Structures are given as C-alpha cells and as structure tokens.
Chains A and B, each alone.
Chain A
Amino acid sequence: MGAAAVVAEAVRVAGLEKSYRGRPAVRGIDLSVHEGEIYGLIGPDGAGKSTLLKAIAGVLRFDAGEIDVLGTRIDSDRAAERIKPRIGFLPQGLGLSLYPELSIEENIDFFARLRLVGKPELAERKERLLAMTRLAAFRDRPMKHLSGGMKQKLGLICTLIHEPELVILDEPTTGVDPVSRRDFWAILSRLLRERHATAIVSTAYMDEASRFHRLSLVYDGKEVAAGDPERIREKRPGSLVVIDTARQADAVARLRPRFAQVDPQGATVRLFAEGLLPAEAGAAVAAALEGLPATVADAGEADLEDVFVSLLREGAPAPPAAPAPPHTPPARETRFAIEAIDLTRDFGGFRAVDHVSFSVPPGEIFGLLGANGAGKTTVIKMLTGILPPTGGRGQVAGHDMRHAAGAIKRRIGYVSQAFSLYQDLSVVENLRLFAAIYGLSRAEASDREAWALDLGGLRGHERDLAGSLPMGLRQRLALGCALVHAPEVLFLDEPTSGVDPIGRRRFWELLFRLSREDRVAILVTTHYMSEAEQCDRLALLFAGRLVADATPKALKREVAETEGLPVEMHVDRPLDALEALAARGFPEAALFGPHVRVLSKDPDGDMERLPRLLAEAGVTVHLAERRSLSMEDVFVHRVRALEETGGGRGEGA
C-alpha cells in the first residue's frame, strides 16, 4: 500500500484467529481502520464478519492475534472494559438489541442512562437524532410496533447516544427496505463526518461497497481482498459485457469456453471479461458470437461482485453444468402459469397485502422484490394455498386457487425461507421423503432422486445430514426436494439469503435452465437488489402494495428518463459539497463513502458543470464519473413517487 501518509489508526487487527469448538470462524485476518472512515466488511453468512466485529468490540475472547482499538491493546477483559465507553456496538439482528415493550424515547433514555450520559446532553442529542432520523413523531410508539427500517434507525440512535469515537455495526441494513437503507446510510455518513467518528460496518450486500471508504472482502474466515473499491477492482481488472440475444443458451455455450464468468440474466447474457478493457471486451465477445443473432448491449466497468467471484474462484474451473431432466413435462395449455388478481390479505386490522395483481407465463422467472414485512411471503403463501386470501383471486398451473388447492399442490414446488429441510435427515432421506409425499412410484422416485443429486452437485454427500451441509449445498438440496415431482410452477421465498456469491450464481444458473429448458414458471422473492436483475420480470412490493411490475431494463430506463443517471464526484470537502448541491437543485445528493453522488438527466453536461458550481462554494472536485443505476435506485424512485402522489392507496394496481 503506497499512499500511507500519517494516518491515525482507529482499529488495527493483526492475525486474528478464533474457533468455536474446534471450528475455525476467523483464520488470520488483518485489518487497519483509519480514523474518520467508514470501513466495510463484506462477505456471506459464516464468513466470520460477526466474530471479527465482536472481538473488536471487546465482547468476545479470541484465540490468537492482536487487536488495538483507539490506541488500546485488547489483550485482557480489563482492557476491553476500558475501551467500551468509547465505542458503540450494534449487534446483528433487526432490533434485537432493543426492548420491544419500551417506546422509542424509553429505549433511547435507557441506553443513555446505561452509558451515563448527562441529562442536558441527552436532551440535546436525543432531539437532534430523532429529528435527523424522522422518528420524532413516533417517540411514544413501542419499539415492537415499528417497521424494520425504523427499528434499525432507533438501533443506530441507541448506539450513538453516548457519542462514541468508534461505531461497530453488524449487518445493520440486512432485510431493511431500500428507502430506509438509503436514509440509514445518509444519517450514518453525516453523523460520522460531523463528529469525526469512525465506523466499521458489515454487510452481505455487495452493492453497498460504494458506501465505504475502504473495505475488506471476507470469505471463510479469511480476507480475500482489502482496500478502497477502486483498488480492489484493480486486483482483477476486467470489464462487464451485457449481450442481447434471442438465443441465450447458444450464446452461453459459445462464451463459456472463452470466459470464466458467463451468466444468463433475464433476457440477456452478462459476462466478466477478465483483463480486458470495455472496448476490447466488447470486440472479443462480438467475435465469439459471430453468426449468432446477438448484439453487445453494454460494455463497461465491472461490478465489485464480479471481482469478488473472480478472486474466490482463484483459477478454479467453472462449476459443471447441470444435467437436463430426463423428461420434459407435457406442454401447457394455460396462458399464464401464475395469475394473481387483486390479492388482498388482512391480519386483524393490518393489511399485509393490498390488491396485488400480476401474472407469470410458463418459462419466466418473475421476481418479487421487497423488504422484510413488505408482504412477499404472504403473497407466496396465498398462491401456494397455505393462506386463504381475504380478497381477490388467482390461478396457479391452470387451477383456481380458491377451489382446486389439491390440484395446485401437486403441480407446484416450494422452497421456503431458510430452506426448511429436515436437518436431521440425510440428503437421500430428504429426497426420498419428498418423492413419497408427492406420490411418486418407486421407479420414478429413484430416477428423480438421481436427477436431483446431479442437479445440485450433491454426489458424494448422499449420506450427509442436511444440517451438516454448507449453505450453498443445503440450498440446492432444498431446490432438489422442491423439484422432485417435476412441478410446473416453482415458488422460492428468499432462497439465497446468506449464500456466498459463487453459490448464488450457481443457484441462479439452475433456475435459469429450469425456466428455459423445462418451461417452469418461477416466482422468486429476494431482498438482494442486485439479484433482482437476474429476473425476466420484476415486481416491487412496498408495504403490501405493488409499486412496479416490468422488466429490470424497463424499470431502469424509466428512472433514467425521469430522474437521470448517477454521477459521482470525488471531492475534498464532502459535507460542504452536499450543502452546495442541495442549494443548487440537487436535494437528493448523497454521500457514498468519501464521494458525493447525484442523479443527473444530463450526465455529460453535469460532469462539466458541477465541478464549476462546487468551485464557487469552495469545494474542489478531483474527479467526476458516471455510475450505473442500481435496482435500489429504481426501488427508491418508485416508492418516493408513490409517496408524492399521496400514497396512491386505492388507486389499484
């Protein structure tokens, strides 16, 4: 690392190791967090993020290595106690550190008293934080009645109330809706800037990388890469190419031998061309696809996730392609595999799903995108016949869900949240159980069992208990169980939560093949915004209502047309820049790590114009560059649009 001027270190970790009952969780991690920065830890579940954060916060003893926090060596419980007053720690789990029966204000007061915050300071800080988080109007509401986003903001207030010098936040944004998530980042970066505090934040969302000054990618207890996002990208230089083609499968087959990371995505194929500049990559892809009806739609900067996957692969071969099923189900006469018309569901006085309508033809991957509590699971439960709707109707696999639940059940597959398999049964036992449940004959069952083992790459694990499998395998076993009876429609409720990026990609590849080769209609819910782009069609669900239903491309195009494209500027004084931009017609300007981002309808013009504007306010812009729109941008735009039209309730979907 060359750019080392004299920077004070807030946290230094060297060679940290920690095992739980002989199972290594962290295996030699080094970390250096500078004062005043937001440092990110990105990795899937089980990568060791929480262990690392707990060790830094002084609430977990570790086996080997050194940790220095705010200049104190954490080598004993007493040392850990000494620094605790100077740090704030928000453990993982939405609202788990808060008291459900206490109101917002009582929670804040409690944490303040715990931290011995004086009365006048408390009053001043509380008002400021409540105003900033827009929670002031709800100060008397019990925490248990708050939405996920509000809980998370309250958690942040309670962590910051004693004005710690170091804030440690463990997955604060997981499962929070994109609007609240955006608020959360805005508040955090502003507060830390104002107070010159330091933060370490972990996340499972790769697309949050741009929020950090610097970050570590962790996997399996080890660091895969560290540094600022640009530097990590430099570790695996390459370009992202998106190809439009009507013959996806052929295109993938042609590209796979030449490029290691080729993934079908929606109606396109997306590939990471390692070591090539965008123009070169585009040309190379075009050459490879010579003769196929395909066009290179886009060639540009790679996503961090592509880089992460490439680093994780480390030369390992691409996973073997899944086998085709032994037989294809009969052709279907129904036009739509899933049709929901005005589905509504009330729980007591609470409307969880509000007049939701959409339809999915056979062979389509349909994504239902939304935060925890948005109503995704309720929609799936109604369509699968677990939960009767309060109102509305629908048909699944050609049968009316109100009258033919039994017929529907035989034709659908379902993977519930957290892939609920029998963890105490082995892989084969799980498959056989579901084969028998679906009434397969012995011969059919053994055919499908073999097919599912091949599909999931589960050979060699037949006798392992499902609970002992790593997440990725467990998820593919769940998929195999759901597909054992060759269903026409597949429902997946957050199937990839917590799975590492390679496992996620492999899983999506399986879904893609099922939809294209077997014409299975797939409805999948997710709160990973980046994953949503893999769907053919997307519905955004917010507070029980459908706020959009279109292809990912169309959704993005609409935002680009109405709001513009993101432009990111590297500036010397970010807070002043924000103020200056807000005063000059960019109220939505936001901090992304050390940089400032605005949406611009004329990116090329603004990249010239904005640096001049900011110069008038005394802010120097070192660099201005375009960024691409994310699904999160789309989601936030849609929800804001809905809020502006007075909530839009009752105008129907």
Chain B
Amino acid sequence: MRPPEPPHLLGLSRRLRQIRVMTGKELRQLVRDRALLIFIVYSFTLHMFVAAGSEASDLRDARFLVRDLDRTPASRELVSRFLPPHYRPAGEVAHPGEALDRLDRGTAVMLLEIPEGFSRTIDEGVEPATVQLLVDTSSANTGYLASAYSARIAARYGAERAQENLARAGAVREQLPGIESRDRVWFNATLDEKWFSTISELLTMITVSCILLPAAALVREKERGTIEQLLVSPLTPFQVMFPKVLAMIVVTLFGSAVAYFGILLPVYGVPARGSLLLFFGVTALYAFANAGLGLLAATFTRRTAQVGMLMLLTVMPIIMLSGIRAPLESMPGWLQAAIWFSPLRHFLEVGYGILLRGAGVAELSDSIAVIAALGAVLFTAGLLRFRRQLG
C-alpha cells in the first residue's frame, strides 16, 4: 500500500514533521475537550488524596459489644485489651437477643461474651477457659481482621496468665520455652499504608488514562468522519496512530510528574529510592503499551459510547487482577498465567521496585523487557487491524 518512495532525507524529515504536527493536533484537541481534561486533572491530583484516604486493609473502629457474665478483674482485663484505633467499645448487653439485634442492624460488628466462671477456670488451670466471639463477616475483610486480631488478643492474654500461673508454681520465666519473633520491616519502615495505596492508584490512573484516551481519540475521529480525511491523505496508518500514542505518553509523563512531585512526595512522603529518571522512562514505555491496547480496542468500536463499555471489559480486569487489589499468589494458576499478559502486572513490580526498594535496571530488566514486548505486540496488532479495516 505504501508508495514506492526512496527513503531519502527529505522524505524522512517530512515524515517526522507530519508526526510532530499530528501529535500537536492530538494534544490540542485533548486540552480543548473539557470533559477529558477534567478527567485527567482529577486522575493525577484529587484522586491521589481519595486513594490515600481509603485504607481498607487495616481494622479501624470495629465497634464491639460485651456480655460479661463473669464480672471479675480477669474478665475486665480481657475486655480492656480491645483497644482503639482497632476497636471501639459499643456498650454492654445483658441478653444475647439484644446483641444479635444490634449485629443485625449493623450498629456493632462483634460481640464478646465471657461466661460465668471464666476467672475461676483460668486460675484452676485444669481446662482451658473459653470466651465466645460473634463476628459480623458480611464485610469479609473487616470480619476476618476483627476475628484474627481478637484471637491474637485472647491468645496473648492466655499466654501471660499461663506464665503467671507457672511463675507462682515456682518456674523461672526466662527458662520457659518460647519463640520470640523480632520483625525487621524493610522498604516501608513505618508500614505506612498510604505509600502503597497512592503508588497503586497512580499506576492505576496511568493505566486507565493510557487506555481510554487514545481509544477515545481514535473513535472520535471515526465518528466525526475525520479519519477518512486522514486516510485519503499521504499519511500512513502508522502516522495516524502513532501520534496518538506519543501525545498520550506526553500527557502521562506530565501527569505522573505532577502527581509524584506535587502530592506523593510532599504530602505523603513517598520516597524515590531508585532512579526517578528510570521510573519515568519505564512509565513512558508503559504508556506506549497501554496506548497500543487502547487503540487495538478502539478498532473494535464505532461509537464513543461503546468505548466506555469496552473499557469496562479491558481496564477493570486488568486493575482487579494485576496485583493491586489482591496478591497475585492468591489466584489460581491459570489466572496467574493469563495475567502475565497484563502490562500492569509488570509495571507494578517496576513502580514499587524503583520507588520503594531502590531497584535499578539490572533487577528490573525482565519486567521492562516484557512491558516493551507487550507494547510492541499490542501496538502492531492495533495497527494491523486498523490497516485491515481500511480494506
């Protein structure tokens, strides 16, 4: 289909000028599309705050009820160990029915019931003392954390009381067998969850905009008929498609820089232990891969409204499965294999690796190579489909 023209310098410089002008056109259109502009600005700024504010992986303010039938110092001691910020007492109840009613209505998530004789059973030490914990697990994460933390509190209290009993019986505490775990927290010493969540959301937003915007740009050209005007011009399909990718890379780099230097670093203190240059370099590569995916998706649609639906089918699974929402290791093997083809899965490693672990090219070369390869394949596939659609 290409004209048999010798690739002399003049021809090349003309081709490059065409690409430059087309990229400028894309950027100009983007800036003038108010809806898309608001979307981009929101994604790279406000959304970071939203992400930092929504920590779901820790237990906060779990309201618990107490039904203490023992009413001894031991039972009060146990109750007093359920502390803020994880727990918040929601009062005592006299009857089980009342507790169930409050669990049903959602004004409490947990009931701790201490049976009569609790203290006596501990002191006798003949058989283990029991307490009952009723947990509302309709929110699985909260329920899981509430019961896990509670079990740990009960276990520790039990262990301490056991040691006291043994000490009273003459045992020397230091001689008792036991394992002490000494944690060294690396990369995120304060376990600040905001580091993880803001980086995740930045990578998510890069993903969404890199797929959505080039797709929207291409479909809009189809819809308004301008694509035909380009197709009858001497532009090659590559020269029509690639400027959309270039424009997206520019926007993504700019947005990421604003997000990192404007919010992540100053507000949340997210460090950059590795090379930021490398980080932005790989971000550009990642933007290219995603833009390829977006353009490929756009070749399957004719209307802007369809782009939205298609995005649900591509972006959602990528974000849900690539390792942000749930660890990869918890997925079945076939799904892990499929997810290997998601550029985000590899970009996550690069993003956390460079920013938090200070990794360099050597450690990340595999991931970077995969992103580049996926990008090349996706863009080429999009280009081929686009070219075939023309005839």
- Residues of chain A having any CB pair with chain B under 8 Å: 381, 384-388, 404-407, 409-410, 412, 414, 416-418, 420-425, 429, 432-434, 436-439, 465, 481, 491
Contacts and interface: CB of A to CB of B under 8 A. Distances in A.
B3 A406 contact: yes
Given A436-B21, A439-B14, A410 B234 contact: yes
Given A386-B231, A406-B2, A437 B390 contact: no
B226 interface: yes
Q: Shortest 5 CB-CB distances between A and B: which pairs? A: A406-B3, A420-B225, A436-B21, A388-B391, A414-B232
B163 interface: no
A26 to B, nearest CB: 28
| Size class of the contact patch on chain B | 20 to 34
B61 interface: no
Interface in B199-247: 224-226, 228-235
A192 B317 CA distance: 59
B86 interface: no
Contacts of A424: 28-29, 32-33
Contacts of B32: 424-425, 465
9 contacts: A384-B232, A412-B232, A422-B226, A423-B224, A429-B25, A432-B21, A433-B21, A433-B22, A434-B233
A381 B231 CA distance: 10
B314 interface: no
A386 B225 contact: no
A416 B225 contact: yes
Contacts of B28: 424-425, 429
A528 B163 CA distance: 100
A387 B390 contact: yes
Contacts of A437: 18, 21-22, 230, 233-235
Contacts of A388: 391
A387 B225 CA distance: 15
A422 B25 contact: yes
B33 A406 contact: no
B255 to A, nearest CB: 20
Contacts of B18: 436-437, 439
Contacts of B9: none
B77 interface: no
Interface of B: 1-5, 14, 17-18, 21-22, 25, 28-29, 32-33, 224-226, 228-235, 390-391
Contact of A438 (B29, B228, B233, B391): B233
A621 to B, nearest CB: 51
Contacts of B22: 433, 437
Given A409-B233, A416-B228, A424-B32, 9 more contacts: A406-B1, A417-B225, A420-B226, A421-B226, A422-B25, A425-B28, A437-B21, A438-B233, A465-B32
A386 B240 CA distance: 14
Nearest to B231: A386
Q: Chain A CB within 10 Å — which of B25, B33, B230, B235 has the most?
A: B25
A423 B29 CA distance: 9
A123 B229 CA distance: 50
B235 A386 contact: no
Contacts of A420: 224-226, 228-229
Nearest to A403: B4
Contacts of A434: 229, 233
Contacts of A429: 25, 28
Contacts of B226: 420-422
Nearest to A432: B21
B165 to A, nearest CB: 79
Contact of A414 (B1, B2, B229): B229
Given A417-B225, A422-B29, A436-B21, A385 B232 contact: yes
Nearest to B19: A436
Contact of B1 (A405, A410, A425): A405
A392 B224 CA distance: 30
Nearest to B5: A406
Contacts of B391: 386-388
A414 B227 CA distance: 12
B331 to A, nearest CB: 41
The CB with the most chain B CB atoms within 10 A, among A422, A481, A491, is that of: A422
B19 to A, nearest CB: 10
B229 A406 contact: no
A271 B10 CA distance: 50
Most buried by B among A387, A412, A424, A465: A424
A140 to B, nearest CB: 29
B12 to A, nearest CB: 11
Nearest to B30: A424
Contacts of A491: 232
Nearest to A435: B21
Contacts of B1: 405-406
A479 to B, nearest CB: 12
Contact of B17 (A384, A414, A417, A436): A436
A372 to B, nearest CB: 15
B232 A386 contact: yes
Contacts of A385: 231-232
Nearest to A491: B232
A424 B33 CA distance: 8
B285 to A, nearest CB: 28
Nearest to A419: B225
B224 A405 contact: no
Contacts of B33: 424
A75 B34 CA distance: 39
B234 A418 contact: no
Contact of B234 (A433, A439, A465): A439
B222 to A, nearest CB: 10
A386 B390 contact: yes
Nearest to A481: B229
A388 B3 CA distance: 16
Contacts of A438: 233-234
A209 to B, nearest CB: 31
Contacts of A381: 228
Contacts of A405: 1, 3
A570 B234 CA distance: 58
Contacts of A407: 3
A532 to B, nearest CB: 23
Nearest to B10: A439
Name the residue among A386, A410, A425, A436 with the largest chain B CB count within 10 angstroms.
A436
A381 to B, nearest CB: 8
B234 A406 contact: yes
Contact of A409 (B17, B21, B232): B232
A581 to B, nearest CB: 46
A385 B391 CA distance: 9
A480 to B, nearest CB: 13
A424 B225 CA distance: 14
A481 B1 CA distance: 24
Contact of A386 (B4, B224, B228): B228
Nearest to A405: B1
A266 to B, nearest CB: 27
B238 to A, nearest CB: 13
B148 to A, nearest CB: 54
Contacts of A417: 225
Contacts of A436: 17-18, 21
Contacts of B2: 406
Contacts of A386: 228, 231-232, 390-391
Contacts of B228: 381, 386, 414, 416, 420
Contacts of B224: 420, 423
A434 to B, nearest CB: 7
A437 to B, nearest CB: 5
A416 B225 CA distance: 7
A582 to B, nearest CB: 46
A49 B329 CA distance: 65
A87 to B, nearest CB: 33
- Residue from B2, B33, B390 with most neighbouring chain A CB atoms (10 Å): B390
A329 to B, nearest CB: 17
A392 B53 CA distance: 65
Most chain A beta-carbon contacts within 10 A, residue among B2, B5, B229? B229
